[in-house]
Amino acid sequence: MIPVQCFFVLSALLFFIGVFGFVTRRNLIAMLISIELVLNSVDINFAVFNRILYPGQMEGFFFTLFSIGVSAAEAAVALAIIINVYRVYHSDQVNSIENMKF
């Protein structure tokens, strides 16, 4: 029997590794990869809360399932935007997009 805390520590560490990557990276695709790490850690948390703290219910299970679907859609649109940005600016760095910078 694995204690619940182990899962929480794992998912918190994964979350903050993702945040670290999001802050340090300047490449658009690398930032998107960091966001995927964050989303995965949150999905682990949902599944563990449901399975260990509230067995017999299915809310966390379905929330994780829908979250996987939403993140797939989000990645598709984000990659389309990145490809379009590359086509316009010929660069995949965040600093290249400055038109709307305040």
**Using CB under 8 A as the criterion, which residues of the chain lie in contact with other proteins when the complex forms?**
1-10, 12-21, 23-27, 29-30, 32-34, 36-37, 40, 43-44, 47-48, 51-55, 57-59, 61-62, 64-66, 68-77, 79-84, 86-87, 92-93
For residue 27, the cross-strand partners are 93
Give the nearer residue to other proteins in terms of CB position, either 13 or 97.
Answer: 13
CB of 2 to other proteins, least distance (A): 5
Q: How far apart are CA 31 and CA 82, in angstroms?
A: 11
- What minimum distance in Å lies between the beta carbon of 70 and other proteins? 7
